[in-house]
Amino acid sequence: QVYPVELGGGWVQPGGSMTLSCTAPGRSFGTSTMAWFRQAPGAEREFVAAIGWSERITSYADSVKGRFRISRDNPVNMVSLHMDSLKPEDTAVYYCAADSASTPVPRRAVNDYQYWGPGTRVTVSS
């Protein structure tokens, strides 16, 4: 089991940068795919980025590719999402999630992830 908790979030101007972190205590962290999802007001939760347990394989939604970067530090059970060139449409509650299935390629569906953090709000506006 993994117990994600998001750190960071808040307000940033368009074009700015922000880094979200997720601490995820639990013995399964090192073999779990870790991902970030987000949910805007009135919208469904959507995939943002994921990183495999080995750190070598990452996956990004088209809407954030080239602007966001996901990374993980297995010895300290942390995963981060660095966000550049933020846009108002990036405003959402961001969730850290864990998939203990250890698939070769990170999965993208909400239902594939078993463990979720409570979320942290990111607001991009001027």
* pLDDT class of 115 with cuts at 50, 70, 90: very high
Answer yes or no: are the C-beta atoms of 107 and 46 closer than 8 Å: no
pLDDT recorded at residue 30: 86
Report pLDDT for 103.
Answer: 87
3-state SS string over 47-66? Answer: EEEEECCCCCCEEECCCCCC
Mean pLDDT of the residues in the chain: 95
Residue 41 has pLDDT above 90, yes or no: yes
Res 26 pLDDT > 90:
no
pLDDT at res. 90:
98
Q: How far are the Cα atoms of 21, 32, 36, 92 from residue 120, in angstroms, in the given order?
A: 10, 21, 11, 8
Return the residue matching tokens 């101007």.
13
**Region 64-82 average pLDDT:** 96
Q: What is the pLDDT of residue 96?
A: 98
Pull the structure tokens for residue 3: 């117990």
Q: Look at 71 and 55; give whichever has higher pLDDT.
A: 71
Q: What is the pLDDT of residues 93-114, one digit of tens each?
A: 999 999 998 788 999 999 999 9
> 91 — phi, psi (to 5°)?
-60, 125
Distance separating alpha carbons of residues 41 and 76, to the nearest angstrom: 32
